[in-house]
A and B are shown apart, each in its own frame.
Chain A
Amino acid sequence: GAGVSQSPSNKVTEKGKDVELRCDPISGHTALYWYRQSLGQGLEFLIYFQGNSAPDKSGLPSDRFSAERTGGSVSTLTIQRTQQEDSAVYLCASSFDGGIFGEQFFGPGTRLTVL
């Protein structure tokens, strides 16, 4: 299909391990967002990429979290030295131009469980 895809759909890891979560946005969408959905915090913004501009990292909860977007398309969210409080569903979204009017299309998410 032509929607946003994320992989893996589920990831179980041990505390202290690093994990990488992948997002493939809709082709042609210049803006890409990562959000985190957890029981205690609801849906939280993490990071935003728009074209070749420097990303807005204002939502990243700690320096253990980082993300990159290669070639203006695929994005990878990396969590280093995972902690139990990192357990959540990580959602990726893309939009055509990243403007405030633009509809964001969400992927199905990656459910991360840290044991």
Chain B
Amino acid sequence: AQSVTQLGSHVSVSEGALVLLRCNYSSSVPPYLFWYVQYPNQGLQLLLKYTTGATLVKGINGFEAEFKKSETSFHLTKPSAHMSDAAEYFCAVSGGTSYGKLTFGQGTILTVHP
């Protein structure tokens, strides 16, 4: 079985500040990890994914995440927040025989203040 925990349902930052959204996972098989973003009234869009290889993954819009097996974490960061980053972010895991079926965290709403 797999599960994802996102620490903090709401995160608020100032424009230009560091964005850090936390994600911890549990998986009995090597995990494949994803971050998705959802803007209001839109579907989910893939930001980045980790499958194998380099543990620091770069995605769209300046976001990156680092897979840390020892900490079972896959935190999402961005050095400088923009107003347009305001959205809900979901961490997800798949792996093993799940055939790409995603197990999502509860989501983190990011607010960016001017």
Q: Which residues of A contact B (CB under 8 A)?
A: 4, 31, 33, 35, 42-45, 48, 50, 56, 59, 91, 93, 95, 98-109
Contacts and interface: CB of A to CB of B under 8 A. Distances in A.
B107 to A, nearest CB: 6
Contact of A109 (B43, B46, B90): B43
27 contacts: A31-B99, A31-B100, A33-B100, A33-B101, A33-B102, A35-B102, A35-B104, A42-B105, A42-B106, A43-B104, A45-B101, A45-B103, A48-B99, A48-B100, A50-B99, A91-B43, A93-B44, A95-B100, A100-B32, A100-B51, A100-B96, A101-B100, A102-B100, A104-B46, A106-B36, A106-B43, A108-B43
Contacts, number: 65
Nearest to A42: B106
B36 to A, nearest CB: 8
Interface residues of B, number: 25
Given A42-B107, A100-B32, A108-B41, A48 B46 contact: no
A26 to B, nearest CB: 12
A106 B103 contact: no
A100 B98 contact: yes
B49 A104 contact: no
Given A100-B95, A104-B46, A56 B104 contact: no
Nearest to B30: A100
Interface in B60-114: 90, 92, 94-96, 98-107
